[in-house]
Chains A and B, each alone.
Chain A
């Protein structure tokens, strides 16, 4: 069995931030299932600060300033108290609820924040403590909100929906404020800049969870404003950067800035740890629709095959887009509608219909073959295509049994031309579509 103050001294003398942070986690480990209990038993409410002061810094080691020593004693005293509440959580009739836990843990967070601000000056290598405590603050806040909601719904069956969104998330919003203080703390000094992306990520997650994506804009502005003073992105640990880029990408995605979204999501994808399948899947969930909108291309089999869920999500739609099967596309859209809406990717995917239509028209063009070669020049594709052929293609693409109006087809073609998916014009009086001869009748598709 290990003794927390001993572990503190070891972690401190090795200057290991992660090991130090591991001490401030509110969980027992498989190696030491009694970890919380034994730490809590080591003192009592009246003497905990004195005991901590004596044990954490036994024989004046580690050597730290008086202010820093006090900061650690405060932090671990708050932690000790929170651990006490946690140990009583599952015992009935003690009145300890997930809300109590959240309140107790908030004290740990605030003690840490004080430690990093101003005079106490905890060193930068200890920042993982801040990340870890912030992470659990969020988890405890979510649990507290769930608890409050369950209490309310059993008490007030008829007023379930009365509580506004803000009340449902009261604890998580409070957590967001505390984490926001961590964020404003992060850039104070050179050494503390290293926490900036990690705390930002925690806030991004929290704002997404309380459905206040709009609040992320302030954070992004704050980061951009100080970007000159920050170390280059590559200097940060990859986990910070991938998460940051993912959320930045999704935020732009939701604003329909697909080009920017794609840029951020692509860098998240490239840096992402290969073994983090779930995160890779999330990145691609947004990257694939972006790519469809910006470059009109589809995910390859190689890209989708390691992800069965994405395969289900995108494969049917991709096949229909490739084939130019408009009816199939509409069916795949409505079959996946619920999931697409839930993931908020419906709108960009819908634009895939234009690509399906473009592919159908492209097939007409390719089927038209080549003109008689003149004077030994390279063969040129037939660029004057009767509108009737597009009408026929539309009948195939829409599985139409009856008539497809020429007017409607011309309208579709005009649309493609307007969107830059097809180059040419319609000579209506002759019933012919005149396509570009410069090998770019369907830009970006090789013909």
Chain B
């Protein structure tokens, strides 16, 4: 199946759209048809079939940031003085 945009259908939809925007979901929210029906595993996002493999780089694993930690430590001490002074 070809996925080339239907020229005729498109021409039809362009015109009325200028007059009135669709009321429903955003047009660009719609999942697109894939240009091909099937593809080999190598072309899938996760090429290796291993369970969970390759997934670990997608999300931040560590909350630690050594440089910022030192700054924060200083900032906290200063702020603590103010808190103690005011109470």
Contact = CB atoms under 8 A, between A and B. Distances in A.
A238 B68 CA distance: 44
Interface in B40-78: 43-46, 55, 57-65, 68-69, 72-73, 75-76
Interface of A: 18, 21-22, 25-30, 86, 89-90, 98, 101, 128, 131-132, 135-136, 139-140, 142-143, 146-147, 149-150, 153-154, 165, 168-169, 201, 205, 208-211, 237-240, 242-243, 246-247, 266, 269-276, 278-280, 282, 291, 295, 297-300, 302-303, 318, 322-323, 342-343, 359, 362-364, 366-367, 388-389, 391-393, 395-396, 403-404, 445-446
Contacts of A322: 60, 63, 65
Q: Is the interface of A mostly helix, strand, loop or mixed?
A: helix
Given A143-B9, A367-B72, A211 B24 contact: yes
Contact of A300 (B26, B45, B59): B59
Sorted nearest first, the 10 A-B pairs with minimum C-beta distance are A237-B38, A392-B79, A270-B46, A146-B16, A239-B34, A367-B73, A392-B80, A150-B19, A150-B16, A297-B59
Interface in B16-36: 16-17, 19-20, 22-26, 29-36
A13 B31 CA distance: 33
Contacts of B25: 208-209, 211
Contact of A209 (B24, B32, B61, B63): B24
A128 B82 CA distance: 72
B31 A139 contact: no
Contacts of B1: 18, 21-22, 128, 131-132
A303 B6 contact: no
B17 A274 contact: no
Contact of B64 (A238, A243, A272, A366): A366
A201 B23 CA distance: 22
15 contacts: A26-B6, A26-B8, A30-B4, A90-B11, A131-B1, A143-B13, A146-B16, A208-B29, A242-B34, A278-B32, A342-B26, A343-B29, A367-B69, A388-B83, A392-B76
Contacts of A404: 83
Contacts of A139: 6, 9, 13
A360 B75 CA distance: 13
Nearest to A403: B86
A389 B31 contact: no
